[in-house]
C-alpha cells in the first residue's frame, strides 16, 4: 500500500509539472496586446535562467559526486551534442538559407525535455526517501520551473512557432518528467545515474544560451533596449542564484 501511495504521488506531481507549460498560455492571455514587445525580454530572461541553471545548479550538484575532470568532460560532451543537434535540425528544417522555425527552438525543447526528465528522477528519488520530503522537493522544483516555462514559451514564439504549437510542444517536453519519475521509481531508485546527466544538460544549456540566444538578443541596436535585455539576463541569473542560496 505504501509503495502504491509513493507511485501515485510521483505520477501526480510529475503530471502537474507538465501542466506548467500552460503558464505560457496564461502569459498570452494576460499580456495579449503587448506580447510581441516583451518576447525578446523573455528570450533574455531565459538566457540568464539557462546559464544560471548550468553554473549554479547542475555543475555544482555534479561536482558533489564526481571528479572535476569528469564533470568538465561531460559538460563539453553536452555542448558538442547540442552543436551537432543544431546542425541536424538546421539541415532538416532550413532550406536555401531560410528557416521557418529557428533551430534554437528545437534545441530548447530537447534541453528542456532532458531537464524535466532529470526533475522526474529527482522527484521519484525524494518520494522514495519519504512522502513529506517528496512533497517539499516537488514544491521547490515546480516553483523553480514556473518562471522558466513562461520564458520558454516566449522563446518558441519568437523563434517561429505559432502560439498553439509553442504551447503543445512545450507541454510535451514537460511530460518527460513523468517518464523520469516512472524510471526512477522502477529502475533507478538509488538515483546514482542522475548525476551524470546533470553536466550533459549543463553543456546543452550553455550552448543554447551562448551560441543561439545571446546573438539574437544583441541584434538590437537601440542602447536602451540593449540595457533592458541585459537586465533580463541578470534577472534570470538572479532567480537561479537566489533559488540556490535560499532553497539549495
Contacts of 35 (CB under 8 A, 6+ apart): 27, 28, 154, 157
pLDDT at res. 112 = 79
pLDDT at res. 198 = 80
Contact (Cβ atoms closer than 8 angstroms) between residue 147 and residue 239? yes
pTM score over 0.85? no
Question: Strand pairing partners for 94?
Answer: 99
pLDDT at res. 77 = 92
Q: What CA–CA distance (Å, rounded) separates 100 from 195?
A: 36
Residue ranges covered by each domain of the chain: 2-247
Q: What CA–CA distance (Å, rounded) separates 217 from 47?
A: 9
pLDDT at res. 76 = 95
pLDDT at res. 16 = 87
- pLDDT 10s per residue in the chain (248 long)? 455 588 899 899 999 888 877 776 676 667 666 666 677 777 788 788 888 888 988 888 889 889 999 999 999 998 998 788 777 765 555 545 555 566 777 777 887 787 788 778 778 876 876 777 677 667 767 765 666 677 777 778 777 888 788 888 888 888 888 998 888 888 755 556 667 878 888 888 888 888 878 887 887 778 888 898 899 899 888 887 887 776 55
What secondary structure, in 3-state letters, does the chain show?
CHHHHHHHHHHHHHHHHHHHHHHHHHHHHHCHHHHHHHHHHHHHHHHHHHHHHHHHHHHHHHHCCCCHHHHHHHHHHHHHHHHHHHHHHHHHHEECCEECCCHHHHHHHHHHHHHHHHHHHHHHHHHHHCHHHHHHHHHHHHHHHHHHHHHHHHHHHHCCCCHHHHHHHHHHHHCHHHHHHHHHHHCCCCCCCHHHHHHHHHHHHHHHHHHHHHHHHCCCCCHHHHHHHHHHHHHHHHHHHHHHHHHC
pLDDT at res. 1 = 44
pLDDT at res. 225 = 82
Amino acid at each position: 500500500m505504501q509503495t502504491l501511495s509513493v507511485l501515485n504521488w510521483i505520477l501526480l506531481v510529475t503530471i502537474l509539472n507538465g501542466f506548467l507549460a500552460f503558464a505560457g498560455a496564461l502569459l498570452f492571455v494576460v499580456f495579449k496586446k503587448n506580447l510581441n514587445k516583451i518576447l525578446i525580454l523573455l528570450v533574455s530572461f531565459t538566457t540568464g535562467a539557462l546559464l544560471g541553471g548550468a553554473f549554479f545548479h547542475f555543475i555544482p550538484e555534479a561536482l558533489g559526486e564526481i571528479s572535476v575532470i569528469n564533470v568538465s568532460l561531460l559538460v563539453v560532451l553536452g555542448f558538442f551534442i547540442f552543436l551537432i543537434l543544431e546542425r541536424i535540425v538546421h539541415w532538416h528544417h532550413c532550406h536555401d538559407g531560410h528557416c521557418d522555425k529557428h533551430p534554437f527552438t528545437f534545441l530548447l525543447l530537447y534541453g528542456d525535455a532532458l531537464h524535466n526528465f532529470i526533475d522526474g528522477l529527482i522527484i521519484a528519488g525524494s518520494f522514495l526517501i519519504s512522502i513529506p520530503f517528496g512533497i517539499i522537493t516537488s514544491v521547490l522544483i515546480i516553483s523553480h520551473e514556473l518562471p522558466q516555462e513562461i520564458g520558454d514559451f516566449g522563446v518558441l514564439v519568437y523563434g517561429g512557432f505559432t502560439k498553439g504549437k509553442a504551447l503543445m510542444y512545450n507541454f510535451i517536453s514537460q511530460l518527460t518528467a513523468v517518464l523520469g519519475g516512472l524510471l526512477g521509481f522502477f529502475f533507478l531508485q538509488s538515483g546514482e545515474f542522475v548525476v551524470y546527466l546533470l553536466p550533459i544538460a549543463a553543456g546543452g544549456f550553455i550552448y543554447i544560451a551562448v551560441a543561439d540566444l545571446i546573438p539574437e538578443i544583441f541584434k538590437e541596436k537601440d542602447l536602451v533596449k540593449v540595457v533592458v535585455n541585459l537586465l533580463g539576463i541578470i534577472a534570470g541569473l538572479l532567480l537561479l542564484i537566489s533559488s540556490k542560496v535560499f532553497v539549495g
